[in-house]
Structure 1
Amino acid sequence: MIITKPFTKSTWLLLILFCCGCKPRNIVKHGGEKDLISFKPVLGISYTEIARRSENGLSFNSFGYQLEPQWKMKFVSNDSTSIYSPTKKRFINFPLTRGYDSVFNTARAWLKVKTMTKDSLVVELLKAYADSVDTRGAKVYMIFYADNYIANVLHGNLSKCKSPSLKDTVYIKGLAAVANKNVEKAFAARQPVELTSKSNRIKIEKRPAEPSMLNNFDTSSEYMGPEFDITIDKAYANFYYSFSIFVDPLGNMHYGRPLTVFLEEDRKVTYIHLSKAVMNSYLKYYLNLKPGTTLGIVHTSEIAVHVTGKRSM
């Protein structure tokens, strides 16, 4: 048994001094009370996001996700912003919560101002954890130009600013070379696979991604995970299978994986066997596939299909 003595006054004093000397973690609690950032110098200035880049300067990651400039924003006051909604075709006011260390929250996003002038803004996206925000950031940067700067200095020409860089092109070429040799290394195509039917027996509908407040108007799921509903009339039986397909640069299909959960391995094996047969018969014979591309580079990518067979009566 270990017996500890009660702390003396001097011991408590040392502990208090030690705790006061500790450096706080690099986490900002919501509702920070000191060093609140002020947007007074830029109130009323309309900004348009012209680029979004990761720390390495790329706008793409290894999964094919593209960081796209999407925001149009104006600071109305120190507690509200006005952000353009592409769905509603108008600006919507959002509450603005300010934190210290140039951190603020608006439109369901935590952000950190890196630079702020009347001509431009550089803002870093932050990661949120429950009631805390990590100020170390996600290393993704949003670059804004003031609309007046765009009109008077750039003369409205944003094509070069918004275009992917040469570095992006080199990176995508490298990913494509690997994916085209091994379909398991496929990545999302920015211009995804297109399906068309050769027969009036086959109907194809692509599932759209709806921009909304819940997804911050992000419709990237349309190219990150393209999904198609395919209906086959006069099939050999009534069936329904969901599975993924790798589409190579020549438009050839390669079976991916079943998109359902199995409690028994035998059922999974049977499901794969039957759904692969559907792909190798109906889909290969009755569909035309245009492979996906990114930056004009054709490469292997993966799609999801939900195939319904309707037996003729």
Structure 2
Amino acid sequence: MKSKNSCFFIFITSILFFAGCNSDSKVEARKTPKSQTEIEDLPENNLKFKDVNGIRFFEVKRRFKNGVSFNNDGFQQIPTWIIQFKAPDTMLAYSPEKKKMESFYLHHDHGRIYNFAREYFRVRIISKDSLVLQRVQVDAMKIAGDDDPRSDVYSTYYSKKIIDKLNTTIGELQKPTSRDTLFIKDLSLKTYKDPSNPTVAFPATSPVVFVPNSKNVSVEKISTADELNNRKSAVDYFYPYYKIVINKSYKDFVYNFSVVVDANGKMYVTKGYEFVLPEYREQRKKLLQGIADMYLSNLFYITPGKTLGIPHSSEISLKVIGRTGN
């Protein structure tokens, strides 16, 4: 009898155990989160562009992941965009050249990835007050990871309503921050310690300025922007190029070379002699340095390049033309 009761108890316990397991499985199924695809398909607060249809947003911040507008090369992210979603699949974006909003097809690639105005973005946040978009780099249909500097750009947009509520202006919100200033001071300090070194010099957002102090010289700053080769005017300060003409020089000459201009306006030749025969390179470098020291330093007032008002070493390219006549 005892044996039968024991068997019956074990049987009932087994039924309850499996029933319990089955019940737990259903609970787990109900609690299972959305698939990764579904999660990726929605911004963090689950809104979509259709929820902000007709609201105009102004870009107030464009920064790297570290919260700074500059990278280690000195490139500055400047917030300039104005966008507005227009249902069902159009993104309006302001064109400074045409001074009006232009229409772009808003292509939903997959997940949070969208494309408009020839750029790919990952949508981070959508709300009726603000948007956060991450610019992503796509090569051969593959998205570069967040550790790729080309995908390390985050833009924040505010609606006019929230800007007014904050009692501020778009211009104020777009200004560089104290963190930006500290970052540039740190980069500049490195150039003060090694002023002639092109590897620590960085492009100045306000490039070097040459002002003639003689009627025998002239200078022209030439833009290197090239839309065909995708070199935009926004990065023109990365490639400062000057054409300088010196009349009544000791002889006729044309030299193309580069110099680092330090925080005091002193020039150090860095390129322009590497293409001559090795045995003549040092001689050519001394010649170019002589032109910089004797002609340029004496015939021009030189203002060093500055970023956020802070002078620092920056590298520039020169085409110097000497003419013995007028």
Q: TM-score range by the shorter chain?
A: 0.7 to 0.9
Alignment of 1:274-293 (within 5 A): 274-293=287-306
Change (3 A) 1:267 1:48: farther
Among 65, 84, 90, the alignment partner of 2:75 is: 65
The CA distance in 2 between the partners of 1:226 and 1:80, in whole Å, is: 37
Q: For 1:62-96, what per-residue CA distance to the aligned partner results, in whole angstroms no more than 9, with x for missing partners?
A: 22111111211112234322111112222222222
**1:85 and 2:100 aligned:** no
Change (3 A) 1:64 1:95: same
Question: What fraction of aligned residue pairs are identical, expressed as a percent?
Answer: 32
- The match for 2:169 is 157
Amino acid at match of 1:229: K
On the 8 A contact 1:39/1:78 being kept in 2, the answer is no
On the 8 A contact 1:110/1:133 being kept in 2, the answer is no
Q: What SS is found at the alignment partner of 2:220?
A: strand
Change (3 A) 1:261 1:129: farther
- The match for 1:20 is none
On the 8 A contact 1:209/1:221 being kept in 2, the answer is no
Unaligned runs of 5+ in 1: 1-25, 29-33
User: CA offset at residue 116 of structure 1?
Assistant: 0.4
On the 8 A contact 1:35/1:99 being kept in 2, the answer is no
- The match for 2:322 is 309
Deviates more, 1:264-273 or 1:169-178: 264-273
Among 181, 206, 226, the alignment partner of 2:193 is: 181
**1:191 and 2:206 aligned:** yes
Q: What SS is found at the alignment partner of 2:190?
A: helix
Q: For 1:122-165, what per-residue CA distance to the aligned partner results, in whole angstroms no more than 9, with x for missing partners?
A: 00010111223236472210000113332x31345234422222
Amino acid at match of 1:62: N
The CA distance in 1 between the partners of 2:279 and 2:86, in whole Å, is: 61
The CA distance in 2 between the partners of 1:129 and 1:119, in whole Å, is: 32
The CA distance in 1 between the partners of 2:145 and 2:88, in whole Å, is: 20
Alignment of 1:43-192 (within 5 A): 43-134=53-144, 136=146, 138-150=151-163, 152-183=164-195, 184=197, 185-192=200-207
The CA distance in 2 between the partners of 1:141 and 1:96, in whole Å, is: 19
On the 8 A contact 1:96/1:105 being kept in 2, the answer is yes
On the 8 A contact 2:138/2:144 being kept in 1, the answer is yes
- The match for 2:223 is 208
The CA distance in 1 between the partners of 2:106 and 2:315, in whole Å, is: 39
User: CA offset at residue 36 of structure 1?
Assistant: 8.8
Higher Rg of the two aligned structures? 2
Amino acid at match of 1:274: L
Q: What SS is found at the alignment partner of 1:235?
A: coil
On the 8 A contact 1:40/1:77 being kept in 2, the answer is yes
**TM-score, length-normalised on structure 1?**
0.80
Q: What SS is found at the alignment partner of 2:180?
A: helix
**TM-score, length-normalised on structure 2?**
0.77
Q: How many residues get paired?
A: 279
The CA distance in 2 between the partners of 1:192 and 1:281, in whole Å, is: 22
On the 8 A contact 1:234/1:312 being kept in 2, the answer is yes
The CA distance in 1 between the partners of 2:294 and 2:242, in whole Å, is: 17
Among 42, 46, 51, the alignment partner of 1:41 is: 51
- The match for 1:223 is 237
- The match for 2:312 is 299
Change (3 A) 1:76 1:54: same
More helix by share: 2
Q: What SS is found at the alignment partner of 1:186?
A: coil
Q: What SS is found at the alignment partner of 1:245?
A: strand
On the 8 A contact 1:246/1:256 being kept in 2, the answer is yes
On the 8 A contact 2:305/2:314 being kept in 1, the answer is yes
RMSD of Structure 2 on Structure 1 (CA): 2.8
Deviates more, 1:263-272 or 1:76-85: 263-272
Change (3 A) 1:132 1:174: same
Change (3 A) 1:73 1:215: farther
On the 8 A contact 1:36/1:99 being kept in 2, the answer is no
- The match for 1:248 is 262
Amino acid at match of 2:110: Y
On the 8 A contact 1:47/1:145 being kept in 2, the answer is yes
Amino acid at match of 1:306: K
Q: What SS is found at the alignment partner of 2:292?
A: helix
- The match for 2:271 is 257
